[in-house]
Each structure stands twice: as C-alpha cells, then as structure tokens.
Structure 1
Amino acid sequence: MSEGRPLRILSIAHPAVSRAVGRRRYTPFAARRDLDVHLVVPATWHQFGRDTAADPPPDPGVTLHVMPIRLKKAGPMGWYLHFYPGLRELIRTLAPDVIHLWEEPWSVVALQASLLKGDAALVLEVDQNILKRLPPPFESIRRHVLRQTTHLLSRSPDATMVCRARGYAGPVTPIGYGVDPTVFRPDPAADRRTTTSSRATPLRLGYVGRLVVEKGLDDALDAMARATAPCTLSILGEGPHEPKLRDRIVALGLADRVDIRGWGTPDAVAAFMRSLDALILLTRTTHAVREQFGRVIVEAQSCGVPVIGSTCGAIPDVIGRGGWVIPESDPAALAALIERLAADPGALARTGEAGRENVLTRFTYEAVAEALAVAWQAAARDTRSRENLHKNGSVTKTKVSPSPVGNDRAI
C-alpha cells in the first residue's frame, strides 16, 4: 500500500445502481481528502422482474465506473451469479488499497473480487441472517471469500453470526441503511392526533413494502377485526399476496377501513408516511425469511412516525426507542396495542420524537459513510501490518479450531 496519498477504495455494489437510493451514502466522501473512492455498479440491473439502467456519472464523493455484467438474472440464486468481465483490468489500473463488496459472500462477484484483489484488503458488507447450508458451489464460494475477508460490515448481529459460523474470525463494524432526512421529514403542519381527539379520530396505521405472506399483513387485519378502538390501515405496495389480502379484507368486514395502492416515488412514500399515526412491519420468520433490516422503519421514523414491529430478525434493534415490538404472528397482542394507543395518543407523539432521534443518531447517510470509512481504514491498517510482518520474517501460523456452530450437519 502506498504512503502519502489518500487511501484508494474500490467499492463494488449492485445496490448503488440507483442514485436515489444506494448511491446516496457515498456522497459524504466528497468532503474527505483522506479517501479516494471508486464505485463500480452494473450498467443494467435485474430485480423483481424489472431491468434498471444505472444512473450515469458524475456523483459527489466517488469516481463512478458503470460496467456491463454477465448473468444478471440467470440461475436459481438470481442476482448472485453476476460478475464483471472488465473487473480485472480495472483493479490492475487502480491498484486499490481496499476492495469493498456490498455483495453477499457466496456471490460470484465476491469470488471474482477475492481472486483478483492482489494485495488489497477485502471488506465485505453482509445482510443475510439465516444460517443454512448453501447448494454447491455457493457454500464453497462463501467459505473461500470469508477466509479472504479482512473486515466485515454487518447489518445485524444475526448476519454476523452467520459469517462467524462459516469461518470468519476477524473484526466487525455494524452498519445500517441510510435515510435522507430532507425527503423523509416530519410535517409540522400535518393534522396530527391530540389528546382531545383521541376517541373521535381513528388510529391511522400504514404499511409500505411488498405484499407477500411473510410480511404479516393478515395478522394486522385480524387485529383490526378484534380491536374495539377505531383504526384504519393503508397499504402501499404490490406483490403476489394482494388478491388474498383483498379477499380477507372483505371477509372480515374491513372494506371501508383498509385501502391498498401501488408503489410511489420516494417523495410520495414520505408523504404517505407523514399521513400515518404509526407504521407497521410484522414480518414472520420462516425457513427462508428473517427481516434483515427493514428500511421502511427508519424512513417512517425520519418522518416522526413511530413503528409497530414484530420480533423478527433485526426489527427490534432498528426500531430502538422509536416504536413498539410485539411477538410474531400475534394478532391479539397487536389488538391490545391498538387499544392502548387509541386511548393515549400522546404516546404516539413522544415515541415519534424518539424515532426521529434514533434516525438522526444512527441512520443518516453521514452515519453510514462513517461506518464505511472506519471499516476501510481498519482493514488497510491490518493488511499493512501483516505485510510488514511478512517483510520482517516474523509471521507465525496459528491453528484455529472450527466452531461447533459451523458444523453443517447440525443445521
């Protein structure tokens, strides 16, 4: 690694194909003179049945490299098969100090980067939080990439556990998702509930996200049918579970209290959230689903709207003091909470303020950029130290016993 110049980072991140979402967290690096950040994104990305073309440069904080990929939608693992034909030449040209992958460790692009990295430190950013054996060759890819990883950026303790169980033994830096508080902002002019209107105004609940059975919207409908306090539910999203949801709404006699509408722009989503008293995210754990973060939590909290979440995955940690956590698949618990909040609307305002503080402290783009910088710099220092040890001939080998948690046969 070269001394006397900014640390050179090559960040490979398919979520950064969009400037409005994944790329915003790199913007704070425009003010950093100690980091030279290069970002690689796919020219076209395929997800949820749609192709998205990459937003073109320029972008503050990074030098953007929009590159074609192969196998963008092939195979049972979906997007995890993609790789960049031009990555070898880019790494040779840039000679980065750190290669950062916002990709899971079993992805083909992670394998590609680990084989091409040369002397660069490898920083891996992970979301996957369910421990299970992957089919060949993905399990072998994961173990190889984790052995090559210098530093881990983890979205949740469960995601860290999965990597530890598969052989990673190095340092970890927690990282969240960022939210733009200028878009997702409270509306002081909104008609918010007050203590004097607690009985007259229905509690306004809302949901934003995919309409799939794992999101627990059926539990919300059952809770509304149980509760005696007046409440409404507005749903913003699309998905395969919508027809069954509509049937259940009618069957429970909730047609005049529940509405479903399609996706909107970020500004439209923010306006929708500001119209609510509370957002719900009632994800249920399955063999294939455990909430990895819940971006809508921090978007709602940034609007000053508290969140009602289930105990699934990372939801309780992300909510913090800015909401309420109830057991998964428990309509009775949600119905009881609806009764309490309808009787004490002041709790909504207090908890909404706590949620806003949670976001400003933990989940701004500046906070996310700082977590990235900390991990990159730590990885560079660790790699430089190992290089110096090798030069001085003082490296010793240590045998590490495998963790019993990592025994595939026990899973």
Structure 2
Amino acid sequence: MRPGLLLISHTYAALENRKKLQALAAHFDLVCVTSTIEQRVILGRPSSDFDNDSDAPTRSYQLIRLSRRGQRDTTFLYAGLAAVMRSRRFDVILVENEPWAVVCWQARFWKSVLQPHALFGEFTWENVERPGWKGFILARIYRCMTATTDFIIAGNQAATQLVQKRGARKENVIVAPQLGIDLVNHQPASRAERDELRKAQGLPSDTFIIGYCGRLTEEKGIRELFQACDDLGSVHLALLGSGVLESWLKEQQKTRPWLHLLPPRPHFEIPAFLRCLDVFVLASKPVRTMTMCWEEQFGHVLIEAMACGVATLGSSSGAIPEVINHEEAIFPHGDAQALAGCIRRVMNGASMAHSQLEHTRTHYTHGAVAADWAGFIHQKIAA
C-alpha cells in the first residue's frame, strides 16, 4: 500500500508543472493542494494559457484548489487547508516554499493539531544569507524550522548548507530539483525541423543563434550577454521574455539587426524556441542589497535547453554550475569577455551538447526527480 502524501504548493497551479505530480503519484497516494485558477494577465498572456484543468481526466492523484489569502508567494495562507487535513489520514505532509513562508507555518500548525503522527517536510530553494536585521531574524526562523521538520528537500547545494548550519541533520536533507522536464516535447531538432521552427518565429535560418528566455533584468546578466554577442560580431541573439530592460533592448535593436526580441509565451511553447538555438546562455549574477538578496537557485530553463540538445552555457552564479555539471560550459558571472570566449569555443566545434543531453535524460526527467524524492521520503517513513 502506497503511503499517503499531502503536497502543498502554489507551483502546481501551472499546468506544465503538474507532469511532476503524475510521476510522483506512482510512488504515493497523492493529494496536492494548490491555488485556484486566477483570472489575470501573466507576462502579457491570459492566465488560462498557464493554468487550466485540461489534464483532469488523466490525473492519477487528487488536486484540490484553495483560494489564497494574500498574494505574495511567501506571505499567503490557504483558506480551507485545515478542512483538507481533517478529511483523511496522511503519512507525510510536504510543503514547497521558503522556510519563512506563512503557508509553511500554517501547514505545520494544522499538522501538529490534526495529523500529529505524520512526518512533516519542506522543500526550499533559498541559497543566500540575508544581511543586517533580516538575516538576524531569518536565522532564528531557520532554527525553528529545522527543529520542527522531519526532513528537508533542498533545491541546491547552498540551500543544504544553509539549513544544516541552522540545525538540520545531514541525514535529514537531500539535494534534488523541484521539477523535471518532459522528454516528449523537449528533444533535439533535426536541421530541417530547426529551420522550420526558426521560420515560424521570424528568426534567420542560416546563422548562428544564441538564445535566452526568462526575465529581462540586470540580475539575469542580460547586459553581459548582449555585450558578448556585440563583441563576437558574427552571431544573432534571440531573447524571449519581458522585464525592466525591455525598453533598453528595443533601443539597441534599432542599430543591431542581429538582436531579436520575442514576447513571453506559456511553458508548453518554450521548447519550440529552445530547439531553434545553437547555444543557450544563462548569465545570472548575484545581487546583495537590503531590498534584494538573490542568487540563481536552479535555473530550470537550463535543463530544458540541455534536453533539447542545445549547447548550454551558464555563469558561476548560485546553482548554475551544479545543474549544468560541465566545467567548460561555465564562465565567471559578470564577465562578458569570458562569456564571449565560451561561445567562440562552441562555434569552433567544442562538443558539450551530447553529454549535457545525456546528463539531463538521466537526472532531470520528471520520473527521475520523483524517484529521488520518493526514495528519500520512503527512507524517512521506514526510519
């Protein structure tokens, strides 16, 4: 008989992300609590592009949608969460959010009252220590979290070090991604397929194209990526997304015909863009201020690009090197010249795409991620 797992996370309001739940349901009698479908615009697209119930007939788990009280991802509560916990017995309750998130403490409270026998776990991505008074307060929250949590799934190595520093025992922590990728729609394109995909997106067919998709912001290293391509002089750069640098990029585009700006799109349309590329780059760099303290926590688009058979380069920031797992594909963050050198090596025939593809197929599918989670959780249940 499979153990009963209650998974609580707003992440699974996104249709594409629920493919991970299907894989996890092979190991657990799974109930997932996520957010209600919202009627709003996301990245210039209707929210229905990202979240709908078209997958309902094929679910092998129960999905319960609850409304959020509060909109920020770390400050909301789920209305009706207590009723879900009263509805049946669970062996494990697992929340995906940061250690200070209100919903984690809401779930922890109701677990102690209504499911005292169950194991309680958290998934966290947080990989930096905050400066000043924020760091002082968060250190104490972490201590309380590790003292009241049976196991922790950390999204990167730095997150593991952070929770262990605050009291988590090594055997109670595992490093594993939150989500994997679907190999059905993430696969290498033949040359003919690539040419057709480029034509459909208004990109030139006979040129070397470097790409990025996501937020167009300073911390994502967009200026360094732009500068590297400007220095190379014989490449095209395709950027898909939106953000505060969009207006600056549009100005640059007026004098640089090699720069292509594409609007945001839903998850399921991203592979068509990635399969167009010769190289994908994630040039993120850390930010350390009182208002923003961030470093790349995983970079999910990295494994998407690698699964599409695209040579994938990344900066030395945060979890990027451990995700890519290929030393020659890493350059110092903030260094446009070093990035240009990495791109030039790929243009000159440096081989990395195949090994990156195989690494992704082995470690980063939804099935592989679910199996890692399940093996660890089953071990905790049996202990």
- TM-score, L = length of structure 2: 0.85
1:367 equivalent in structure 2: 368
Q: Cα offset for 1:265?
A: 3.3
Confirm or deny: 8 A CA contact 1:204 1:231 kept in the other structure: yes
Confirm or deny: 8 A CA contact 1:146 1:168 kept in the other structure: yes
Question: Within the alignment, does 1:23 sit opposite 2:18 as a pair?
Answer: yes
Q: Cα offset for 1:49?
A: 8.0
Q: Which amino acid in the other structure matches residue 112 of structure 1?
A: Q
After superposition, the CA RMSD in angstroms is 2.6
C-alpha distance in structure 1 between counterparts of 2:162 and 2:102, whole Å: 19
Confirm or deny: 8 A CA contact 1:211 1:242 kept in the other structure: yes
* Partner residue of 2:8 out of 12, 18, 21: 12
Confirm or deny: 8 A CA contact 2:160 2:174 kept in the other structure: no
1:376 equivalent in structure 2: 377
Count matched residues. 356
Deviation per residue, 1:142-182 (Å, 9 max, x gap)? 43232111111111111112222333225212212301111
Q: Cα offset for 1:191?
A: 7.0
Q: Cα offset for 1:364?
A: 0.2
Q: Which amino acid in the other structure matches residue 247 of structure 2?
A: P
Q: Which amino acid in the other structure matches residue 128 of structure 1?
A: E
Q: Which moved more, 1:104-113 or 1:37-46?
A: 37-46
Q: Secondary structure at the match of 2:86?
A: helix
Q: Which amino acid in the other structure matches residue 6 of structure 1?
A: R
Q: Which amino acid in the other structure matches residue 79 of structure 1?
A: D
Deviation per residue, 1:94-145 (Å, 9 max, x gap)? 2211101112111111101111212211111111111126379766544323
Q: Which amino acid in the other structure matches residue 150 of structure 1?
A: D
Question: Within the alignment, does 1:239 sit opposite 2:243 as a pair?
Answer: yes
Q: Secondary structure at the match of 2:238?
A: strand
Quickly say closer, same or farther: Cα 1:142–1:110, change in 2 above 3 A: farther
Q: Following superposition of structure 1 onto structure 2, how do residues 262-301 of structure 1 map, counting pairs within 5 Å?
A: 262-287=263-288, 288-301=293-306
Quickly say closer, same or farther: Cα 1:190–1:162, change in 2 above 3 A: farther
Quickly say closer, same or farther: Cα 1:84–1:142, change in 2 above 3 A: farther
Identity fraction in percent:
27
2:200 equivalent in structure 1: none
Q: Which moved more, 1:329-338 or 1:202-211?
A: 329-338
Quickly say closer, same or farther: Cα 1:60–1:338, change in 2 above 3 A: same
Quickly say closer, same or farther: Cα 1:136–1:23, change in 2 above 3 A: farther
Confirm or deny: 8 A CA contact 1:106 1:139 kept in the other structure: no
C-alpha distance in structure 2 between counterparts of 1:137 and 1:285, whole Å: 22
Deviation per residue, 1:333-360 (Å, 9 max, x gap)? 122233333332xx3xx31111210111
Q: Which amino acid in the other structure matches residue 26 of structure 1?
A: L
- TM-score, L = length of structure 1: 0.79
1:160 equivalent in structure 2: 160
Confirm or deny: 8 A CA contact 1:151 1:375 kept in the other structure: no
C-alpha distance in structure 1 between counterparts of 2:25 and 2:372, whole Å: 16
Deviation per residue, 1:18-56 (Å, 9 max, x gap)? 222x21111124544xx2111111114689689957644
Confirm or deny: 8 A CA contact 1:154 1:174 kept in the other structure: yes
C-alpha distance in structure 2 between counterparts of 1:327 and 1:137, whole Å: 32
